[in-house]
Amino acid sequence: MATAEPYEPVQYHWFFNQQVDSRDSWQPFSREDSQGLEDAFSQGKNGTEEVVVATEGRRYDVRLRERRRYAVYWEQTPTEVRRCSWFHKGNKDINFSPYTEELCDILEDAYMIAVTLNEWKSNLELPTGETVILHNPKLMTQHQNSFKDFPPSPTDRAQPRTLKRGIENISIEIPEGEPEIVDHLVFMVHGIGPACDIRLRSIVHCVNEFRNASNGLINTHFSQGETTTTIGRVEYLPVNWHRVLHGETTGVDKDIEKITLPSISRLRQFSNDTVLDLFFYNSATYCQTIVDTVASEINSLHSLFLQRHPTFTGNVSLAGHSLGSLILFDLLTNQEIDSEATGRDELHDNDPKIATACCSFNTLEDALRGQGLEEHLKILQRENVDIDSLMLCSERDLKDIGIPLGPRKKIMNFVKKWKVHSRAGSGHAAHSSGLGVRSANEHQTPTTSAVDYQHFDVGIGQVSIDYPQFAFHPQAFFALGSPIGMFLIVRGLKRIDPNYSFPTCKSFYNIFHPFDPVAYRIEPMILPSDVNLPAMLMPHHKGRKRMHLELKEGLNRVSSDFLGSLRMVWQSISQVPTPALAEGGVNSMSPIEEPEDSPLEQEEKIMKVGMLNRGRRIDYVLQETPIESFNEYLFAIQSHLCYWESEDTALLVMKEIYENFPVASSQS
């Protein structure tokens, strides 16, 4: 009889359920997060209070007793979490799936007995009706016993499910853990519609994709410098404004639905969800809703991020895709250099009653009492909300902490009026050499009937609304597939003052794919009209230009050299004889025409490209892939949605972020 091997307890790993095409897909936590969950489970398994563990870069919280995973920064249905040790897979399944924790305990007990007694090939009846056969430590199968509606077919009987014990015995990719230290924070704003890429994924999924690309580049392109500074990571957070615009608060979807024709319903629904966002942004009423939502969401996320990362000392940047870049551009042009110094002493309004009310509230209690809402004071105090933080709250924040709809609307209306009055005396974007100069007298409260478009050389034609202020000064602004240039032209602005820069943001990058039908350039609006400077070609993340582009340049160079040689031969043949030149003298000769500078020579002569990016280049173009180069029309739509998965785009963002950081780029 063979000697029994000693029993070794199984190693647990934590998983969460992620719905993919309405089907369960169990994903493992990183080893670091799984160990953190296991430690918390071991320490609190005898307690009765809920234990909350932050996971995945502190973007999710896991409530251990509830076995649920909750998103922190965005709305998402909570997902199930399991402490897993046993897994099963059928012949048609691609991946192993974990058993419930109860079944894992049953299987582990049976396995321990079989190993200890060295007795195998025993049957184990599960509570679910299936039978598990432990053939040996390496072969274990599950068989279906109960067929309530019809007898099993021969194929069903012959295809048992395979069982595996421990995560080390299944083929699965465990994600890398993320560093605790965050070096930089980037807020990413989406464009039109609820879907952001060619696979119709949400802004959350697309930003996750961009974050993964960024994390990968940290390891491959940036190494620790000579100092003892530890490289952390860059956090990217999504900003969703479409949900609010098309939600119950505005009721705009119901109004549009009433007037929508019934024919080609799917196309009309798509148009209502996407294209109409452009028209909404050019409406004074809904433009105010959009910019308020974007700024409020960013400020709220920024505040929440600082709460969860109290030691964060890095900078913050902004990135916008498509229409989202235009929204951020308009907000940045209307930021005040010292927004915190916009004191409440400057509040004024034509209505003395409202002005007095807004100025007289020094505490949260006074503000709520003045609106007849003092009964909700305890809820706000419980969340440590004071009068200043109330000004940064969004309606979603108030809903999350349990304030009912009616009082919530009253509070938001008060906050909106407070913001309007607090900035009425200071004006917006009033910079003497700026992109758009607007005096305080030109500022108007948004209305549906009086839309004020500016068409002067110093104006940028924005709808006259109240532009909210960010709670921070961004380091950089990245526009992805952006129509900013086109909108400025349509608004009546033909040229951007070379001396202009954003009041609170000193870096600006306009990144686009060469086939993107929505993207437009910025630099030609800054440079002299006689300068034809091509956009900067972004380097490939693997360190060189794509091979098909090098081949194309090589062929163009050979063709150019050949034509140049022919031109020189022709000039030598057709040259005027020397005696004829002597007759007319030197003064009779035509002026010698200077050859036109090549784009490279022009670039060398240009020292500054305006001040939007501190004198540096602004327009950056991606390299198209070989398959895209075959037909630019075929890949036009895809090229506008490619930035979320573009490692080249992520690399440019990372280089700006770590430019003054004590790290070295391992590849150029």
Q: For residue 567, what pLDDT is reported?
A: 62
Higher pLDDT, 134 or 590: 134
Q: For residue 554, what pLDDT is reported?
A: 54
Which range, of 129-138, 196-205, 657-666, averages the lowest pLDDT? 657-666
End-to-end Cα spacing for the chain: 65
- 4, pLDDT greater than 80: no
Rounded CA-CA distance 620/650 in Å is 13
DSSP string, 585-629: -GGGSPPPPPPPPPHHHHHHH-----STTTTS--EEEPPPPTTGG
Higher pLDDT, 568 or 530: 530
Q: For residue 422, what pLDDT is reported?
A: 54
Q: For residue 508, what pLDDT is reported?
A: 98
Among the listed residues 241, 389, 234, 381, the one whose alpha carbon sits nearest the alpha carbon of residue 303:
389
Q: For residue 461, what pLDDT is reported?
A: 60
Handedness of CA 125, 131, 135, 139 (dihedral sign): negative
Structure tokens at 550: 């090098």
- The gap from C-alpha 447 to its chain's centroid, in whole angstroms, comes to 31
Q: SS3 string of 350-410?
A: CCHHHHHHHHHCCCHHHHHHHCCCHHHHHHHHHCCCCHHHHCCCCHHHHHHCCCCHHHHHH
DSSP 8-state assignment for residue 525:
G
Q: For residue 546, what pLDDT is reported?
A: 52
Q: For residue 12, what pLDDT is reported?
A: 96
Which range, of 203-217, 409-423, 555-569, averages the lowest pLDDT? 555-569
Mean pLDDT of the chain: 79
Rounded CA-CA distance 206/644 in Å is 6
- The gap from C-alpha 100 to its chain's centroid, in whole angstroms, comes to 35
Q: Is 322 a catalytic residue?
A: yes
Q: For residue 436, what pLDDT is reported?
A: 41
Higher pLDDT, 493 or 589: 493
CB 96 within 8 A of CB 89: yes
Structure tokens at 297: 């969401």
Q: How far is CA 128 from CA 104, 106, 515, in A?
A: 13, 12, 56
Write the single-letter amino acid at 57.
G
CB 640 within 8 A of CB 518: yes
Strand partners, 664: 223
CA angle 266, 269, 271 (to 5 degrees): 110
Among the listed residues 9, 13, 42, the one whose alpha carbon sits nearest the alpha carbon of residue 175:
13
CB 459 within 8 A of CB 492: yes
Q: Count CB-CB contacts under 10 A for residue 432.
A: 8
Structure tokens at 198: 């060619």
Higher pLDDT, 352 or 507: 507
Q: For residue 586, what pLDDT is reported?
A: 32
Rounded CA-CA distance 398/243 in Å is 16
Rounded CA-CA distance 332/456 in Å is 20
Local confidence band at 579 (pLDDT 50, 70, 90 cut-offs): very low
- 451, pLDDT greater than 90: no
- 74, pLDDT greater than 90: yes
Higher pLDDT, 266 or 21: 266
Q: Count CB-CB contacts under 10 A for residue 255.
A: 10
Local confidence band at 446 (pLDDT 50, 70, 90 cut-offs): very low
Most confident of 65-74, 456-465, 488-497, 523-532: 65-74
- 568, pLDDT greater than 60: yes
pTM of the model as a whole: 0.73
Q: For residue 587, what pLDDT is reported?
A: 35
Local confidence band at 223 (pLDDT 50, 70, 90 cut-offs): low
Which range, of 329-343, 443-457, 463-477, averages the lowest pLDDT? 443-457
Local confidence band at 667 (pLDDT 50, 70, 90 cut-offs): low
Residues 6+ apart with CB under 8 A from 226: 662
Q: How far is CA 326 from CA 203, 429, 508, 644, in A?
A: 17, 16, 13, 18
Strand partners, 185: 235, 316
- 421, pLDDT greater than 90: no
CA angle 193, 199, 202 (to 5 degrees): 45
- 208: helix, strand or coil: helix
Q: For residue 101, what pLDDT is reported?
A: 95
Rounded CA-CA distance 117/514 in Å is 69
CB 138 within 8 A of CB 5: no
Q: For residue 624, what pLDDT is reported?
A: 86
- 95, pLDDT greater than 70: yes
Counting residues of the chain whose pLDDT is more than 70, the rounded percentage is 75
Among the listed residues 294, 319, 320, 308, the one whose alpha carbon sits nearest the alpha carbon of residue 394:
294
For the stretch 272-311, pLDDT in tens is 888 888 888 988 888 999 999 999 999 999 999 999 999 9
Local confidence band at 607 (pLDDT 50, 70, 90 cut-offs): low
Structure tokens at 522: 């910025």
Mean per-residue pLDDT for 345-349? 34
- 455, pLDDT greater than 50: no
For the stretch 620-636, pLDDT in tens is 999 988 776 777 777 77
Which of 296, 317, 322, 394 is labelled catalytic? Answer: 322
Q: For residue 484, what pLDDT is reported?
A: 96
Q: For residue 141, what pLDDT is reported?
A: 92
Which range, of 73-87, 272-286, 412-426, 564-578, averages the lowest pLDDT? 564-578
For the stretch 472-495, pLDDT in tens is 999 999 999 999 999 999 988 889
Structure tokens at 271: 């148009």
DSSP 8-state assignment for residue 523:
G
- 154, pLDDT greater than 80: no
Write the single-letter amino acid at 14.
W
Which range, of 186-200, 492-506, 652-666, averages the lowest pLDDT? 652-666
Structure tokens at 366: 């006074």
Structure tokens at 15: 């998983």
Residues in the chain, overall count: 668
Q: Where are the alpha helices (DSSP H) in 491-546?
A: none
Mean per-residue pLDDT for 593-605? 47
Mean per-residue pLDDT for 361-382? 83
For the stretch 157-173, pLDDT in tens is 558 899 999 999 999 99
Rounded CA-CA distance 358/417 in Å is 8
Mean per-residue pLDDT for 197-208? 88
Mean per-residue pLDDT for 169-186? 92
Q: For residue 444, what pLDDT is reported?
A: 34
Among the listed residues 9, 31, 12, 15, the one whose alpha carbon sits nearest the alpha carbon of residue 97:
15
